[in-house]
Amino acid sequence: MAAGFDAVGSLIEQSKFRAAIAEAMRVSTLANQYVAEQAPWAVIKDDRERAGTILFVALRCVDSLKVLLTPFLPFTCQTLHELLGYDGYVAGPLEFREVTEDDGRTHEILTGDYAGWVGRWEPSQLPAGQQLREPRPLFTKLDAAEVLARELGE
């Protein structure tokens, strides 16, 4: 996971945002493969402790992915941060602010109070036994007909 932070961080610093999100998604695929290969749903039948370890590693992966994806999905990652039992802002509160350049042009930026952020660009430090909060969906499922109607301008 640490190598993912190095790679994604380096790509963001180089303003290679598509490559950075692709690398974060590659890391998420590795985490998903780990869970699929370890199959905690099957292991639990014979070895409850091992299944717990697999799930804990998976939660630490999710916690790390939350940080890797925060530059791209700040609001969703904040929700995930809270669901994982943390307080404070992983990167926020965020706000849109209009700024004026020296030449008089204006544009909106996404910014925030950086000093109050609790998130760190490092792999998860999720402690064993952390109390998780009541789960809820991170995304709303879109109705395909509604999406198509919007695309067609109806």
CA distance to 60, 64, 69, 122, 146, per residue, from 127 (Å): 9, 13, 21, 14, 42
Top pLDDT among 152 and 134 is at 134
Q: What is the pLDDT of residues 41-98, one digit of tens each?
A: 999 999 999 999 999 999 999 999 999 999 999 899 999 999 999 999 888 777 899 9
Predicted local confidence at residue 60, as pLDDT: 97
Q: What is the pLDDT of residues 85-143, one digit of tens each?
A: 999 988 877 789 999 999 999 999 988 877 778 888 999 999 999 999 999 999 988 88
Q: pLDDT for 1-15, tens place per residue?
A: 899 999 999 999 999
